[in-house]
Amino acid sequence: MYTLDNPKYKEARRRAADLVKKMSLKSKIVQLTMFMVDENTYNPEHVEEDGEMLAGRCGTLLAATGIDRLNKYQKTSLECTPDSIPLISGCDVIHGYATTMPIPLALSCTLEPKIVRDCSAVAGKEATVEGVSWTFAPMVDIARDARWGRVAESFGEDKYVASKMAEASVRGFQEDAGILSCLKHYVAYSACEGGRDYNGCEMSDQTLFNTFLPPFKAGIDAGAATVMSSFNEINGVPCSGSRKMLTDILRGVLGFDGFVVSDYDSVNELQNHGYAKDEKDAVLKGYGAGVDVLMLGNLYNRHLPALVAEGKISEEQIDASVERILAAKYMLGVMDEPFFTSEGKGGWLTEEYREIARNAAKRSFVLLENDGILPLIPSEWAGKKIGLTGPVSNEGDSVLGCWASAKNPAKTVLIKDAMEKAYPDSEIVFTNGVCFKREHSNPEESLEILKDCDVIVACMGEHARESGEATSKTCLDLPRDQIEYLKGLFSLGVPVVLLVSAGRPLIMTDFVNRAAAILYIWDPGTECGNAVCDVLTGDYNPAGKTTISFPHRSGQCPVYYDHKMTGRPTIGIPNRTFESKYIDCPVGPLYPFGYGKSYTTFEYTDAEISSDTMERGGSVTVSCTVTNTGKYAGEEAAQLYVRDVVGSITRPVCELKGYDKFCLEPGESHRVSFTLTEDDLAFWNADMEYVAESGDFICRIAPDSGAEVKKLKFTLE
Ligand code: GLC
């Protein structure tokens, strides 16, 4: 959409270029500035002061919402900015605005791009009701380290899935909701050493191009309007000051035609990095690298005029930046109709939106363990006592996840309320046991209350405030009080169904053989309770596949499926001492990328390959049969993994190259088939050429990245 092959965007760029020609330098620099109008500085009696802040000094606002409020600012802006250029407001509409959708990590576990698109579309539409024109989403960082709290905002650890979801989200925000999207955080922000937020990384160009850039490329190809430069450094150069990243690669290689906005104050922070000696140097390096719009503050207004006068920044570069920003404003229509309205924008929390949220949530859940106790079919549990306990069971805002809008936490469907409706003929015995507000906990009393139940549904997890930005952890265990309470519950001798709500994988290792079932619900959003009951009752047979590996122990992080072999891979020979392993923990994940159980079972048979040779320009087809061998209808996502055995650089043990998600009735079979071409095998090699290298390849069609299924081999000539 925001690409020069789109005639509408081309026309917008032409109109913008015409306007730029008439603008003064001061007026142009105003368009490169974003202010945050802090609630407590906005005082209607002081609109002049406020107007002063806005007047002629910014082209975009951060987190300003509300039609009347924005129109007041717009009036000031039109009166006071040179050339009367309208402003727009950008917000973090990450996974919902009034109707909170599941967190992006959860959405990616559906493996269904349409679900991601629909959730982005609803979020964007609800945001336009309050005049929002731009969202700082989707976040497309590759999330390999669960210690980093922002994995919650990501589409998981795999570039293939993250690329599909990036495209879907961009289209949802831009084509369905009509607001600007923003691919963030460019780039490799998630590779932060130690999983510690804002930390830097050392990264080869091969890893950058093969793993971390593909989702950005997918979003750019889908027409993303903006990209956000990240806080972190790569190899000693902060991204928000890196010409290599923001111009040479982003524009030169990935072909980005929109505009770049800095992450919050990241240009100013070039000084903290020790990369800029003062504010003016930071502006020279940030803007010089390619940061078009400064989030946040006055540095560009303060220093760019002098830098241009000194010839250190060219006015042509400024013209190019302003043209891209004005083109986006033309595309939004705000240049022609500057005042915002909620007319015709639909409502909030409509039945349709709630249904989209509920459907997304139930499809995002990952069933990790089930000894057969699930589903708890209401008719079979009539007259029985179902215990319900734990902090997540009756808590509204934690299950909304990070970046949840503050609009309507009260509208969240609680698990407790939904279960009381879903099991009218059972006795729901509710007691919190432990609470996020520790002072309200009553574990001993609760164990007494629950000991006569026929089953206990224990809803545990981390609070939403424990994931998202600046929430890195060294320990991924459940909170200590929840672990102790769970031990008490297990000691009752009553089957325990463990539900876990979190923004990241937490350590489940000690519950695997104690809980009768483990259902990972991530942060499901507004329709939490209904989605949980859809799954617990068996109305919906869970099919989510985790898109991020679950470690056995925190010390394993980062742990991810497309890792390297090493010279001493663990190949299962007992007592083999010298191999790449831990002496106190298994080397692989507890649950691998792509893993997720169902209430039914699936069998993979008759795997075959069309040829053991792929000629240059040719293809091979890999297929197998998947059969539903259980008693419930269910969905399965069969995944194709490929290993490039020998390369000019070492290659991952396997890479996801495709998946096919389908529904099967009991006894029904489906023939899964994938056709591979050279393009699927290409990578950035030792010489930084994007090629498929000749040699042997091993394929598997499997239920997850760790499953042992028949291997199929072919050689690329
Ligand atoms: C934050 C986040 C970024 C967000 C921006 C604006 O620091 O890093 O994801 O979009 O600032 O709120």
Q: Which of 197, 263, 562, 704 is catalytic?
A: 263
Helix axes 299-309, 279-289, angle to 10 degrees: 80
Are 291 and 360 part of one and the same domain?
A: no
Are 523 and 421 part of one and the same domain?
A: yes
* Rounded Cα gap, residues 420 and 713, in angstroms: 53
Torsions phi, psi of 588, nearest 5?
-90, 180
- Find out whether the beta carbon of 158 lies less than 6 Å from any atom of ligand 1: no
Q: Is 152 within a domain?
A: yes
Are 375 and 465 part of one and the same domain?
A: yes
Confidence grade of residue 620 (pLDDT, cut at 50, 70, 90): very high
Q: Is 547 within a domain?
A: no
Are 652 and 533 part of one and the same domain?
A: no
Residue 515, CB half-sphere, CA atoms under 13 Å: how many? 26
Ligand 1, atom 10, residue with closest C-alpha: 136
Range of the domain at 387: 351-542
Q: What is the pLDDT of residue 576?
A: 83
Are 223 and 305 part of one and the same domain?
A: yes
Are 662 and 608 part of one and the same domain?
A: yes
Residue 677 has pLDDT above 60, yes or no: yes
Q: Is 343 within a domain?
A: no
Check if the beta carbon of residue 258 is closer than 8 Å to that of residue 324.
yes
Are 322 and 416 part of one and the same domain?
A: no
Catalytic residue check, 263: yes
pLDDT digit string, tens, across residues 251-278: 999 999 999 999 999 999 999 999 999 9
Measure 264 CA to ligand 1 centroid, in angstroms: 6
Which of 264, 293, 402, 467, when mutated, tests ligand 1's pocket best, judged by the most ligand atoms within 8 Å of its CB? Answer: 264
- Find out whether the beta carbon of 184 lies less than 6 Å from any atom of ligand 1: yes
Are 361 and 435 part of one and the same domain?
A: yes
Are 243 and 141 part of one and the same domain?
A: yes
| Residue 399: strand, helix, or coil | helix
Residue 608: CATH number of its domain? 2.60.40.10
pTM of the model: 0.97
Ligand 1, atom 1, residue with closest C-alpha: 264
pLDDT digit string, tens, across residues 157-194: 999 999 999 999 999 999 999 999 999 999 999 999 99
Q: Is 264 within a domain?
A: yes
pLDDT > 90: percent of the chain? 91
Q: Is 589 within a domain?
A: no
Confidence grade of residue 45 (pLDDT, cut at 50, 70, 90): very low
pLDDT digit string, tens, across residues 201-255: 999 999 999 999 999 999 999 999 999 999 999 999 999 999 999 999 999 999 9
Q: Which atom of ligand 1 approaches the CA of 182 most closely? A: 10
Residue 571 has pLDDT above 90, yes or no: no
- Find out whether the beta carbon of 595 lies less than 6 Å from any atom of ligand 1: no
- Find out whether the beta carbon of 469 lies less than 6 Å from any atom of ligand 1: yes
Chosen domain end from 268, 299, 332: 332
Torsions phi, psi of 286, nearest 5?
-70, -55
Are 52 and 142 part of one and the same domain?
A: yes
CA angle 351, 179, 32 (to 5 degrees): 150
Residue 485: CATH number of its domain? 3.40.50.1700
Burial class (CB within 10 angstroms; exposed 0-12, middle 13-18, buried 19+) of 205? middle
Measure 24 CA to ligand 1 centroid, in angstroms: 31
Are 319 and 356 part of one and the same domain?
A: no
Are 315 and 223 part of one and the same domain?
A: yes
Which of 154, 184, 263, 295, when mutated, tests ligand 1's pocket best, judged by the most ligand atoms within 8 Å of its CB? Answer: 263
- Find out whether the beta carbon of 150 lies less than 6 Å from any atom of ligand 1: no
Measure 187 CA to ligand 1 centroid, in angstroms: 14
CA distances from 157 to 142, 424, 656 (A): 5, 41, 11
CA distances from 615 to 586, 674, 677 (A): 40, 17, 9
Count structural domains, the chain.
3
β-strands 517-520, 613-614: how paired? Answer: unpaired
Residue 42 has pLDDT above 50, yes or no: no
- Find out whether the beta carbon of 369 lies less than 6 Å from any atom of ligand 1: no
- Find out whether the beta carbon of 126 lies less than 6 Å from any atom of ligand 1: no
pLDDT digit string, tens, across residues 434-491: 999 999 999 999 999 999 999 999 999 999 999 999 999 999 999 999 999 999 999 9
Q: Is 164 within a domain?
A: yes
- Find out whether the beta carbon of 136 lies less than 6 Å from any atom of ligand 1: yes
Q: Which two tokens stand for residue 636?
A: 């399965």
